[in-house]
Amino acid sequence: MKLALKVTFFWLISLCAQAEEERIYQTDSVGNIQYNKPSQTIQNDGRIIYTDPIGNKQYDKQQYQIKGDKVYQTDSVGNIQYDKPQLKIK
C-alpha cells in the first residue's frame, strides 16, 4: 500500500477522537480483515505504532506522529525527526 494512502487512512482514523486507541488492520482483496498480519495502533496523542498480530507494540519499528495536518516520522521514544521527510494531509 502506498505511503500516501496509509497517511490518508491514518488521518481519517485520527478524526475520531475517542478515549480508546484505534487499530488499523490489513485486509485482503475482498476486504476481509487479516488479524494474523501486523497492524498499526493510533494512540490518543497521535502516535502511530506498528503492532504484531498478538497486539504487542513494536517500538523498534518506524513510528509516526500526527500533528495538525502533517505526519512526522519519530524515533522509538516519540521524538519527531524533523530531518526526515514529512507528509501533509490535504
Give the number of other Cβ atoms within 10 Å of residue 23's Cβ.
Answer: 14
pLDDT tier at 11 (50, 70, 90 boundaries)? low
Q: Report the pLDDT value the prediction gives residue 5, as an integer from 0 to 100.
A: 54
Q: Are 48 and 59 in contact (CB under 8 A)?
A: no
Say what the pTM is: 0.69
Stronger pLDDT, 1 or 66, i.e. the higher one: 66
Q: Report the pLDDT value the prediction gives residue 56, as an integer from 0 to 100.
A: 94
Whether the pLDDT of residue 21 is over 90: the answer is no
